[in-house]
Chain A
């Protein structure tokens, strides 16, 4: 089946840039998403990228997509303590006659003051 993988943990200092990486297996994925989950909360859609793009920027967030390597990254510029959370990568895949989101295991980002 389709698989999405992420590193489990990232620690950065406040003000530095954070880069969270993700690899996926479905080369026909049309959309790739980044979600943020703060403690005790649901998932917040941060951004997403269509597969015909290789970069998308939205304020402090930059998404890079390398389709050849099936690699997706999320860069957070000027990381703040409020960015501490778990970040999930997800791909939209056609499976069993419908589209589904396949999630990675999540990367826990810790921002040190």
Chain B
């Protein structure tokens, strides 16, 4: 398994500002993911972040709005830039951890960062 922590756990921000969310994992992982969960909704993948390469963004998400860093195998950051009230969501970091058994993959999630933009 993998234990994931995120900072901050919640924040209230003014429109036009930016917030950087940190994700720390207790073990080295290759693949890290960032998701958004809008109020009362399911999860939407923002991007996949592999160490040593540029993040890969999903349709509807762009690097200028959601820049991501992945400096090593245990850490990543997601920045929400030039925020508007529509960015109010829970942002979740996730990692994929193989269990060591052939063809076995478990994906774990952090506790989330609850962002409110006013």
Q: Is B61 an interface residue (CB 8 A)?
A: no
The smallest C-beta distance from A38 to any residue of chain B, in angstroms, reads 11
Contact A104 B42 (CB under 8 A): yes
- Determine whether the beta carbon of A42 is less than 8 Å from that of B103: no
Q: How many residues on the A side are at the interface (Cβ–Cβ under 8 A)?
A: 22
The minimal Cβ–Cβ distance linking A1 to chain B, given in whole angstroms, is 10
DSSP majority for the B interface?
Answer: strand
CB distance from A39 to the nearest CB of B (A): 11
Q: Chain B contact residues (Cβ within 8 angstroms of A): what range?
A: 20 to 34
A42–B114 alpha-carbon span in the complex (Å): 10
Q: Select the stretch in A12-20, A28-36, A64-72 that faces chain B.
A: A28-36
Contacts of A88 in B (CB 8 A): 42-43
Stretch from A43-51, A54-62, A73-81 contacting the other chain:
A43-51
Task: Given the known inter-chain contacts A42-B111, A45-B108, A98-B48, please indicate yes or no for A103 contacting B43, CB distance below 8 A.
Answer: yes
Find out whether the CB atom of B45 lies under 8 angstroms from the CB atom of A106: no
Most buried by B among A41, A50, A98, A103: A103
